[in-house]
């Protein structure tokens, strides 16, 4: 929607020009006949699916039928005109609210975002003004999330809807011989495979029907695998076959869910941000200029295990950087993993640089059964000293939160080469910590790259308080458009499934239409 100050300015101008209709005047009718804006309004509602919304939530088909009836049949009397006018107004207000802010509470689906809300917009006055100025379509466009990715998803949604009845998905791909098909092998499903890859844009149009998995077909399969969170090896295995068999209408729903998330995820609230997209395993650092996102940094990340240590979704301000940090082993990890390991392999204690910290803060560097028991009883804790084996690497980015989640380096760099990277206990490991520190500290010229590296490699723990807090957003999008290509990622934590359920429950809970059929009265 329009910023509040723009809305107020337009309203003042409209009133000054004498163009704003009276509050009790019909908004969509003139002498019992629908106006041009009325027909435009129902067309907007009927096409709500183009925005990933459900036209049934706004009684679009019924309103469309009644407006057409009032346009082609007898003029409506005052009472039915007022009733239909109010129903259409309510539907448009409902639609605008959904389009702007979404249909469910993010916290209902484990997204604990803190969103800075402007003063609520008077949708009734907003609509009345837009209709009076004959700018309803523009007013609706201004209500959508002003994000480049939203426009890209809008186009992707239309494209995958077109694919829903494509003949490439009318014939099933046959089972794989011997679990997989590698380059140079034959496979009975290759013609259908080529047809699907061509329809999806991974295989150039007009390619010759293949007899073997080779050449451009292998390249196309690699492109498909890259776009679907798979190892792009050009081998047709079970996981790749599973993704190939996902019908376009399922992808449509995945895109709709992603568009819904964009409506309430706070991407544009501040000039600079760090955003981690969990299913993509990617961090982006960007600046916002004139409402446009300028990505300054992109890197791989490792997130929490899908099974039992999921990374939570929230936004908080980064306030500190710790160089050469200690790792204070969380009590749950100490009980379940570290103490049993130390009892099996006592040498591991010294090898990894661990030490005990008593309830009074005293540091104890000797391992004993008594000391391990003190940890299990909750009195003592274990921490790891700074050094090459430290689990946090040599830098930690702190944004205080209830879940004790932070960004940090890691000595286990080879894990970043994996396609699927959910290996952590919940915190987020970053691939390029020096580059991230440079972005965070870009307004502090004394913190050069060399100084950052020296602080990281010093081996003595130190904490730097940021002069200006920097927001960090941990979000969840299983569809991303990059370079005009649509990427689909697995629903790692099942959040898409929860959102789908919440939206269906939302629609089911809406009151049924009470609008009568006026032509039957």
- The pLDDT of residue 270 is above 90: no
CATH number for the domain spanning 179: value is 1.10.101.10
**Above 90 in pLDDT, residue 221?**
yes
Q: Are 353 and 390 spatial neighbours (Cβ–Cβ below 8 Å)?
A: yes
Same domain, 26 and 113: yes
Is the pLDDT at 8 greater than 50, yes or no? Answer: no
Over residues 207-217, mean pLDDT: 90
**Does 29 lie in the same domain as 71?**
yes
Question: What's the pTM value of the predicted model, to 2 decimals?
Answer: 0.90
pLDDT of residue 507: 94
pLDDT of res. 176: 94
pLDDT digits (tens, 9 = 90+) for 84-107: 999 999 999 999 999 998 999 999
pLDDT at 4 over 90: no
159 in a structural domain:
no
Q: Is the pLDDT of residue 276 over 80?
A: yes
Mean pLDDT of the chain: 91
Give the total number of structural domains in the chain: 4
Q: Which of 228, 244, 260 is the last residue of a domain?
A: 244
Question: Is the predicted pLDDT of residue 83 greater than 60, yes or no?
Answer: yes
The contacts of residue 206 (CB under 8 Å, 6+ apart) are none
If asked whether residues 403 and 311 sit together in one domain, one would say yes
Q: Return the percentage of the chain with pLDDT > 70, whole number.
A: 93
Position 512 confidence tier, pLDDT thresholds 50, 70, 90: confident
Same structural domain for residues 285 and 427? yes
Query: Which structural domain, as residue segments, surrounds residue 359?
Result: 337-385
Using CA atoms, how far apart are residues 484 and 439, in angstroms rounded to an integer? 27
> In which band, very low, low, confident or very high, does the pLDDT at 122 lie, cut at 50, 70 and 90?
confident
Q: How far apart are CA 251 and CA 62, in angstroms?
A: 28
Q: Is residue 155 part of a domain?
A: no
In a domain, 341, yes or no: yes
Q: Is residue 24 part of a domain?
A: yes
One-letter-per-residue 3-state SS of 286-337: EEEECCEEEEEEEEEEEEECCCCCCCCEEEEEEEEEEECCCEECCHHHHHHH
Instruction: Answer yes or no: do 351 and 413 share one domain.
Output: no
- For residue 517, what pLDDT is reported? 64
pLDDT digits (tens, 9 = 90+) for 332-367: 999 999 999 999 999 999 999 999 999 999 999 999
Does residue 518 have a pLDDT over 80? no
Asked if residue 509 is part of any domain, the answer here is no
What integer pLDDT is reported at residue 38 of this predicted model?
A: 95
Q: Does 252 reside within a domain?
A: no
Residue 189 has pLDDT above 60, yes or no: yes
Are residues 180 and 303 both part of a single domain?
no
- What does the DSSP 8-state code read for residue 236? B
Q: What is the dihedral of CA 223, 225, 227, 228, to 10 degrees?
A: 170
Residue pointed to by tokens 């376009």: 248
423 and 411 share one domain:
yes
Say yes or no: 405 and 453 in one domain: yes
311 belongs to a structural domain: yes
Do 446 and 478 sit in the same domain of this protein? yes
Cα dihedral sign for 231, 236, 237, 242?
Answer: positive
Q: Residue 15's pLDDT is what?
A: 35
Same domain for 237 and 351? Answer: no
Is residue 520's pLDDT more than 70? no
What confidence category does residue 118 fall into, taking pLDDT thresholds of 50, 70 and 90? Answer: low
- Over residues 21-31, the pLDDT tens digits come to 455 689 999 99
Sign of CA dihedral 128, 132, 134, 138: negative
Residues 378 and 436 grouped into a single domain: no
Q: Which residue among 210, 244, 278 closes a domain?
A: 244
For residues 272-297, give the mean pLDDT.
94
Q: What is the rounded average pLDDT of the residues 491-507? A: 96
Say which residue the tokens 């997209």 belong to: 277
Instruction: Report the Cα 85 to chain-centroid distance in Å.
Output: 37
The tally of CA atoms less than 13 A away on the side-chain side of residue 501 is 7
Residues 6 or more apart whose CB falls under 8 angstroms from that of 110 comprise 312, 313, 493, 495, 498
pLDDT of residue 7: 39
What pLDDT is recorded for position 3? 40
Of 144, 161, 194, the residue that ends a domain is 144
Give the least confident one: 3-12, 49-58, 383-392, 496-505.
Answer: 3-12
What does the alpha-carbon distance between residue 480 and residue 262 come to, in Å, rounded to a whole number? 11
288 plus 431 within the same structural domain: yes
């Amino acid at each position: 929607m329009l910023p509040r100050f723009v809305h107020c300015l337009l309203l003042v101008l409209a009133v000054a020009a004498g163009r704003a209709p009276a509050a009790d005047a019909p908004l969509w009718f003139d002498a019992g006949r629908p106006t041009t804006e009325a027909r435009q309004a129902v067309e907007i509602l009927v096409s709500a699916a183009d925005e990933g919304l459900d036209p049934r939530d706004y009684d679009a088909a019924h309103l469309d039928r009644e407006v057409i009836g009032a346009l082609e049949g007898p003029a409506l009397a005052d009472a039915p005109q007022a009733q239909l006018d109010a129903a259409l107004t309510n539907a448009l207000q409902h639609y605008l609210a959904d389009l702007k802010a979404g249909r469910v509470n993010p916290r209902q689906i484990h997204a604990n975002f803190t969103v800075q809300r402007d003063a609520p917009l008077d949708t009734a006055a907003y609509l009345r003004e837009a209709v009076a100025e004959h700018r309803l379509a523009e007013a609706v466009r201004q209500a959508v999330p002003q994000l480049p990715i939203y426009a890209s998803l809008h186009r992707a949604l239309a494209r995958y809807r077109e694919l829903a009845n494509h003949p490439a998905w009318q014939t099933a791909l046959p089972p794989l011989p011997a679990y997989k098909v590698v380059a140079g092998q034959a496979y009975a499903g290759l013609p259908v495979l080529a047809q699907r890859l061509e329809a999806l844009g991974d295989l150039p149009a007009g390619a010759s029907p293949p007899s073997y998995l080779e050449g451009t077909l292998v390249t196309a399969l690699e492109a498909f695998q890259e776009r679907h969170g798979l190892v792009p090896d050009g081998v047709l295995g079970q996981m790749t076959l599973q993704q190939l068999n996902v019908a376009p209408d399922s992808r449509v729903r995945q895109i709709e869910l992603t568009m819904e998330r964009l409506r309430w995820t706070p991407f544009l609230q501040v000039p600079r941000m760090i955003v981690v997209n969990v299913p993509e395993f990617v961090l982006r650092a960007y600046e916002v200029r004139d409402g446009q996102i300028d990505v300054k940094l992109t890197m791989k990340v490792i997130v929490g295990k899908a099974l039992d240590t999921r990374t939570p979704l929230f936004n908080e301000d980064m306030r500190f950087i710790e160089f050469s940090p200690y790792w204070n082993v969380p009590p749950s990890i100490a009980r379940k993993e570290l103490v049993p390991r130390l009892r099996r392999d006592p040498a591991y204690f010294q090898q990894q640089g661990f030490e005990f910290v008593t309830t009074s803060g005293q540091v104890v560097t000797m391992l004993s059964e008594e000391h391990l028991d003190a940890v299990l009883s909750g009195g003592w804790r274990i921490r790891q000293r700074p050094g090459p084996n430290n689990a946090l690497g040599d830098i930690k980015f702190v944004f205080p939160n209830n879940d004790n989640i932070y960004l940090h380096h890691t000595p286990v760099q080879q894990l970043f080469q994996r396609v699927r990277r959910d290996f952590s206990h919940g915190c987020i490991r970053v691939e390029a910590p020096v580059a991230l520190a440079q972005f965070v500290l870009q307004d502090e010229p004394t913190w050069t790259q060399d100084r950052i590296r020296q602080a990281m490699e010093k081996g003595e723990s130190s904490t730097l308080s940021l002069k200006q807090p920097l927001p960090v957003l941990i979000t969840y999008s299983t569809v991303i458009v990059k370079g005009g290509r649509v990427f689909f990622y697995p629903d790692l934590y099942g959040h898409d499934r929860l959102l789908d359920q919440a939206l269906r429950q939302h629609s089911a809970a809406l009151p049924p239409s009470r609008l009568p059929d006026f032509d039957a009265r």
